[in-house]
Amino acid sequence: MIKFFRQIRYSLMEQNKTSKYLKYAIGEIVLVMIGILLALQVNNWNENRKNKLTESKYYCKLLDDFELDRQNIAVLYKESEYKIETSKSLLLELNTKNKDKSYLLNNYLQGLRTNAFVPSKVTITDLISSGKLNLLANDSIKNNLIRYYGELDKFLYQLEINRSKSLERVFLYDDYLQFGNQYYDYVSKSLGNEILKTLPVNDWHLDSESKYYKQFQNDLVFFVTMSEREKQHFGNIMKAMESTYNQLKTECGSNKN
């Protein structure tokens, strides 16, 4: 095509038709400019299409993170309920004074046990660190994401405080040997049975006036309280993510259709 136009231009020049040549030259410039504009338009269209596809993928990845978090929270919520029931049952069994120390302590550890909630932040971290957050054209989702993850950090901090306080309880006992048999395996391997026989035995679990009995009892009440607070925090996290989660479901679902 370029060769064809070049031949016309040379023919006009050879025939000394200056005015026609100028008109032709201007027309050729216009055609080139139109070609450049069309190329830019096509390039912009391709770029926008790629950005739209990337945006759609991010909505679905964010949704995957939210769904994984919801599943983990559901599991942890049930664990909190289990710890509450275990601690309550143990309080009643402690009062009967017909359970041995190893049984009480094993169940005590069940009430103490607590798992940390580690949210999936892979996608939001990628969006922020790569500077691609602006690819999300839905301003409502974008603003809700920023709000939600800000609130989530506060809930995680509160959960970690609860978890730390629960774990600290076991270290408040001033005599581990009197406190319990959960250390027996470690102690027996280090000291041996001959030395263990020389150590005092205190059946504090049978004496409601014993300081260890009262401390043990207080711990169980504390575990119930902390587990109830955990449930509240998990419930608040679920509420905080609800609107954004539904928006992501809508965006991801519409992009798949």
Q: DSSP states of 92-160 as a string?
A: HHHHHT-S-HHHHHHHHHHHH--PPP----HHHHHHHHTT-GGG---HHHHHHHHHHHHHHHHHHHHHH
* 105-157 tens-digit pLDDT: 888 888 887 789 999 999 999 999 998 888 898 999 999 999 999 999 999 99
Q: Write the CB contacts of 76 (distance below 8 Å, at least 6 apart in sequence).
A: 115, 117, 230, 234
Cβ-based neighbour number of residue 59 at 10 Å: 24
Domain count, the chain: 1
Q: Write the CB contacts of 54 (distance below 8 Å, at least 6 apart in sequence).
A: 132, 135
Cβ-based neighbour number of residue 219 at 10 Å: 20
What's the burial of 69, exposed, middle or buried (CB within 10 Å: 0-12/13-18/19+)?
A: buried
Separation between Cα atoms, residue 46 and residue 80, nearest integer Å: 51
The confidence score (pLDDT) of residue 111 equals: 80
Torsions phi, psi for 217 (to 5 deg): -60, -45
Band (202; pLDDT cuts 50, 70, 90): confident
The confidence score (pLDDT) of residue 5 equals: 46
What's the average model confidence in pLDDT over 198-208?
A: 80
Separation between Cα atoms, residue 241 and residue 30, nearest integer Å: 55
Band (244; pLDDT cuts 50, 70, 90): very high
Indicate the residue type of 93: E
Higher pLDDT, 51 or 109: 109
3-state secondary structure labels for all residues of 165-203: HHHHHHHHCCCHHHHCHHHHHHHHHHHCHHHHCCCCCCC
Q: Name the residue range of residue 83's domain.
A: 2-256
